[in-house]
Structure 1
Amino acid sequence: MEKAILGIDIGGTGIKGGVLIKGHLEDIRSIPTPAHEDKEHILETIAIFIESYLDYDLAGIGVGIPGLVNVEEGIVLGLSNIPAFQHVELGKFLKERFAKPVFINNDANCFALGVHKFGVGRKFKNLIGITLGTGLGGGIVINGHLYSGVNSAAGEWCSVPYLGHNFEHYCSGKFFLNYYQSKPKSLAKKALAGDVYAQKAFDEFGHHLGELFKHILYTIAPEAIILGGSIRKTFPLFKGALYKNLSTFGYPTVLENFKILISELDETAIHGAVALVEIEEETVNS
């Protein structure tokens, strides 16, 4: 039987999985996250979900988590949208349950690694992955390697102070809800139909995103920023305002070959979780 790698993406509302076989992600499945149950119930739900993949010959399990992780110990330090999942030894639990290598990281880091290994970021050695959805996530790849920082906290631009709040307040779905009382998808339909007020929302969003990108460019100067998350699909609506703001960046030569690209992968976090295992295998076998 062909060896497979299982990738798991644990979110506040859903748990998704898929297996990588011969470089292709297959058999995508999902279940609801029992976010308001106790820790033991959540752990057992994750384990039963993984058991549904045991017909495959699994070489390892990679897990993406929407929170901080002690990567070395496989400890989930805290999840804001899953109250009972605080300081959970998930890595130890899964290794004991399945006797497989287990690697865990922040989901935005998994996104950045996923686009680097499998998506539009493959040709770049230095890139930033930014997820635009309900919240704002960020991951960093430097010289072809994921940089997680202490407790996978690198790339947490969501919490950087900005205009009296933070970047997540202005560069995620929260912006549209707080200032336009609407979801991005609904506003996008109106903007595409010529609604000037709806387009104004995306112009403002693009401006704020430009401020975030300048912050990233000043500190890391990547070759590319790759966008993921549901709001990435509205890129044509905020692209103009974003680039207009970037034109004020203080080091124009840094922008000469700089790219902003949209991830074409819908399951990038699972790709990234799989890549957590793959890069460890490459290290062991090199």
Structure 2
Amino acid sequence: MVKKLIGIDLGGTTTKLAFLTEKGEVLEKWAIPTDVSGNGGNIVPNIIKSINKNMENSNHVIDDFIGIGMGTPGSVNRDAGTVIGAYNLNWKTTQHIKDQIEKALGIPFFIDNDANVASLGEYWKGAGSKDSDVVFVTLGTGVGGGVITDGQLVHGINGGAGEIGHITVEPGGFMCTCGKRGCLEQYASATGVVNVAKHLSSEFTGKSRLKEIIDSGEEITSKIVFYLADNGDIFANQVVDRVCYFLGLALSNVGNTLNPGNIIIGGGVSNAGNTLLQPTTKYFQENAFRPVRDSTKIRLAQLGNDAGVMGAGALVLQSKK
């Protein structure tokens, strides 16, 4: 009988879940709202309830599954299966997730940081599936990352490996939520693109729809910036160029340190496609050591919203080795 995996991708607004085969085929996937009320106390019980219900509906029993994997925001203790500091989930105190889920479902449970898990998904079934050395960078509200070397996630001494968002790209630059200045996250995330646009707008004197929007005090988003850049707005193109300069610079440092086969860019901002990829690749190549420049490729992620659940399934397989 084909053994199966359960993947869980826990997000601030939505939790995605899937039943997968060991080969990474999706048997069933669904989503539930993430209820962060009451200090996030309903999140895990809702996940348990939803898995039970879907197992029932699809005639699965506990013995069909070899494990449950989960990607989560916050600071993860992988061995204890706990999470703390996931503020968008209202998890301010330590959450004993592994204990709760294993007790309720009787299936082995494995957990890791969401960026690591998404990188595992792209490595297993996405843009990195032909290499054993891959770096994944996710450009969303923040900038996350995951490093895979010889097919294994790299965690570092206290889980800090792959924190690409906190590479300093502008010493003394914008203040980051982490407490230091000039982090990549403040320049290349969805928030970062807006920071760069607002910062540069005071110097721009030409005609630009983006500049008009900023000057009128209307809200702008990274999506608007890339849309206007695609449609020939000179100032929006300057903003995109600056964002890609910082991103390419950071990725060249990553490339020079690790020399992976692929550096994969995912997350919402990566929906800008070639508008983001081409200038980023140019700046990567300008700043990378020549042998790295010639061997490491910058690519766009392929799995989109499925990277998290796929990676959560892969986490089970890695942890079972």
TM-score by length of 2: 0.82
Give the match for residue 53 of structure 2.
Answer: 52
Contact 1:11 1:33 in 2 (8 A): yes
Give the match for residue 307 of structure 2.
Answer: 268
Secondary structure, counterpart of 2:89 in structure 1:
coil
CA, structure 1 residues 149+174, in 2 after alignment: closer, same or farther (shift >3 Å)? same
CA, structure 1 residues 258+161, in 2 after alignment: closer, same or farther (shift >3 Å)? closer
Give the match for residue 32 of structure 2.
Answer: 31
Matched, 1:259 2:276: no
Give the match for residue 19 of structure 1.
Answer: 19
Q: Which runs of 5+ in 2 are unaligned?
A: 174-180, 198-218
Contact 1:114 1:271 in 2 (8 A): yes
Give the match for residue 153 of structure 2.
Answer: 146
Q: Which of the pair has more CA radius of gyration? A: 2
Matched, 1:173 2:190: yes
Distance 1:50 1:85 in 2: 25
RMSD, matched Cα: 1.9
Distance 1:36 1:119 in 2: 34
Contact 2:169 2:249 in 1 (8 A): no
* Cα deviation digits, residues 202-240 of structure 1 (max 9, x gap): 111111101210221232222210111121121311333
Distance 1:132 1:207 in 2: 15
CA, structure 1 residues 121+240, in 2 after alignment: closer, same or farther (shift >3 Å)? closer
Instruction: Give the partner amino acid of 1:30.
Output: A
CA, structure 1 residues 96+40, in 2 after alignment: closer, same or farther (shift >3 Å)? same
Give the match for residue 280 of structure 1.
Answer: 319
1:88-237 equivalences in 2 (<5 Å): 88-163=95-170, 164=173, 165=181, 166-180=183-197, 181-237=219-275
Q: Which runs of 5+ in 1 are unaligned?
A: none
Instruction: Give the partner amino acid of 2:250.
Output: L
**CA deviation after TM superposition for structure 1 residue 91, in Å:** 0.8
**CA deviation after TM superposition for structure 1 residue 119, in Å:** 1.3
Instruction: Give the partner amino acid of 1:124.
Output: D
Give the match for residue 44 of structure 2.
Answer: 43
Contact 1:69 1:151 in 2 (8 A): no
Aligned length: 282
Matched, 1:249 2:287: yes
**CA deviation after TM superposition for structure 1 residue 44, in Å:** 1.6
TM-score by length of 1: 0.91
Contact 1:199 1:237 in 2 (8 A): no
Contact 1:64 1:106 in 2 (8 A): yes
Distance 1:49 1:185 in 2: 33
Distance 1:32 1:85 in 2: 20
Instruction: Give the partner amino acid of 1:169.
Output: Q
Secondary structure, counterpart of 1:54 in structure 2:
helix
Matched, 1:68 2:107: no
Contact 2:281 2:298 in 1 (8 A): no
Secondary structure, counterpart of 1:29 in structure 2:
strand
**CA deviation after TM superposition for structure 1 residue 120, in Å:** 1.9
Instruction: Give the partner amino acid of 2:234.
Output: V
Instruction: Give the partner amino acid of 1:268.
Output: A
Distance 1:226 1:239 in 2: 10
CA, structure 1 residues 153+25, in 2 after alignment: closer, same or farther (shift >3 Å)? farther
Segments ≥4 residues shifted beyond 6 Å:
none
Distance 1:124 1:142 in 2: 9
Tell me whether 123-132 or 228-237 shows the greater mean CA deviation: 228-237
More strand by share: 1
**CA deviation after TM superposition for structure 1 residue 2, in Å:** 4.2
Distance 1:39 1:189 in 2: 36
